[in-house]
Structure 1
Amino acid sequence: MDFQLDRPRVALVGPDSLARAGLRAALTSHHVEVASESVHLEDEPDVRVDAIVWDDGPSGGEPPPRVPGAPLLALVADEERARVALASGARGVLLRDGDGRRMAAALAAIDAGLIVVDEPFIEGLVDTPPDDPVTDDWIDPLTARELEVLELMAEGLSNKEIGAQLAISPHTAKFHVNTILGKLDAQTRTEAVVRAARTGLLSL
C-alpha cells in the first residue's frame, strides 16, 4: 500500500458506537477511508483493508484483534494497555483522543515499517526489561508528535512557526526537530525531509 498515492483503507473496531462515529469522522477528514466497522473483529474483514484501527475503549479489557497482513494501530487509554497492545503485535499505539491528523500520520509511519508510540507512553515502555515481548520489534520509533513536526518541517516552517502551529514553545519544537534528525540519521532539516519522503513518511 502506497500511502502517498492512495487513500488508506482501514477497518475500524471498537466497543462504543459513539466513539467509533467520532473516529470515523476524524479519519475521513484526513483522507483515510473507513471500509469496515465493527464492535469485535473475530474474523478477517470482508473487504480489503490496509490496517486495523482498534479503539480499546475507556477501560480496556479486550485483547487486540489480529488480521494477517493488516497492521494494527491501537488507541488506548493508558500505558498498561499500550504495553498489552504492543506485546500482542500492534505496530502503533496512540492515546484515544480522536485526533485524526495524528492517526493518519501514524498509519503512514506504520506503512513505512516503523513502530509508532505516543509520547505519554515512551518513557515507561523504553524502561521495559529487555526480555519483555514489547521490545522484540523495538526500532527507535517516531512519536505521533514527531510525525506532526516532521510534516511541518516539510512545509518549510521554522521552529517558532512549528511551535505556534502545535501550541508548543520554540524550544520544544527545536528539541523535536533535533530528535527527528537523529532518528532519521540526517544532518540537516532538508536531508531529514528527503529521507522521510523516500521511506513514505511524507508526500512531497
Structure 2
Amino acid sequence: MPATLMGIKRYKIQQYIATQGPLPNTTVDFWRMVWQERSQTIVMVTNLVEGNRIKCHKYWPETGTLSFGPFNVTITGQQILADYTTRHFAVQLTESRGDILTVTQFHFTEWPEYWVPYSATSLLVFLKKVKKLHELSKGPMVAHCSAGVGRTGTLITIDCVLEQLKEEKVVDIAGVIIHLRTQRMKLVESLRLPTL
C-alpha cells in the first residue's frame, strides 16, 4: 500500500499520510499503518463505488466488529450529513486486551473523481471540522481517495494554501503543489481545483 507522510513545516498544518484507498489485499496493511502511526483521523474523499467501478474496499463494519488480520475494528457511532458521514471506531489488536485506538473517519461523499466538489463551501466547512477535531490527536491524519493523488492531493493543497494565506497573506497554489510533489509524485492530477 503506497503511503507518504506529507506536510509543509513552515505552516501550522497537520501532517498527513496520503495513501490510496484500501484494496481487499491491502486493508490489513492500512489498519496496521493507522495503528503504528497512532492516527486518530481518517479523511476519505472517495466513495466505495463511482460510475459502476469499485474505488475503495470497505474497511469498516456497518455494525459491531470486523476483524482485519490482527486488528478488531468496532464501529461505535455514525452521523450521516448532507455532504459527508462521520464514523467512529475503536481499533484493537486481537491479542491485546487494553490498548484501544479511537479513530474518527470523515467521509466526504460529494466529490466526483476527476472533477471538483459539488460545493466548495461544504468542502471548506468539512475541512474546518476535520482539523478542529484532529487538533487533539497525536498521530498524523490519514487522507485517501481511490489512488491517493487526485482528490487527496487537492485536499492537502487546499489546507496548505489556506495556512499560507493566513500566515503570509499570499497564495501560491502552483508553488504548494510543486513542493508537495517532491513528497508524493503526481499529487493533484487535474487543474480543476475548487474555487475558494
Q: Quick check: TM above 0.5? A: no
Question: What is the TM-score when the length of structure 1 is the normalising length?
Answer: 0.34
